[in-house]
Amino acid sequence: MQNVTKLRGWPARLVSPLLALGLSACAHSASPSFTLFGTFFPAWLVCGLIGIVIAIIARIAMIALKLSTILPFQLFVCSSIGLIGALLTWITWFGQ
């Protein structure tokens, strides 16, 4: 019975410092965030949402220009356009 107790305690002793180390990056005041609706949103989340909107606009433009019948792999193309838009937004606002 004593061996079971020893095995049960070691993951907690290993995981606790790793969690503290991983969460320590969130404590820096220099991390980019926005105050929206009274709470802080990380900047990457806002840039990701902007990228999703850009991907939707690209899909609508492809349908309007009849490119959806010509272009293969439309999901990958729209996802790539959205990713490029999100990264350009990030670089524009927070790039050094």
Per-residue pLDDT of the chain (96 residues; tens, 9 = 90+): 555 455 556 666 676 676 666 665 555 556 677 676 777 777 788 889 999 999 999 999 999 999 888 988 999 999 999 999 999 998 998 775
For residue 80 the two structure tokens come to 């790539």
Residues spanned by the domain of 78: 2-94
Which residue type does 79 have?
S
Region of residue 40 (phi > 0: left; psi between -120 and 50: alpha; otherwise: beta): beta
* CB distance 34 to 19 below 8 Å: no
Into how many domains does the chain fold? Answer: 1
Q: What is the separation of C-alpha 82 from the centre of its chain, rounded to a whole number of angstroms? A: 13
Q: What is the pLDDT of residue 51?
A: 94
Q: What is the pLDDT of residue 35?
A: 72
Q: What is the pLDDT of residue 87?
A: 93
pTM given for the model: 0.62
Q: What is the pLDDT of residue 6?
A: 53
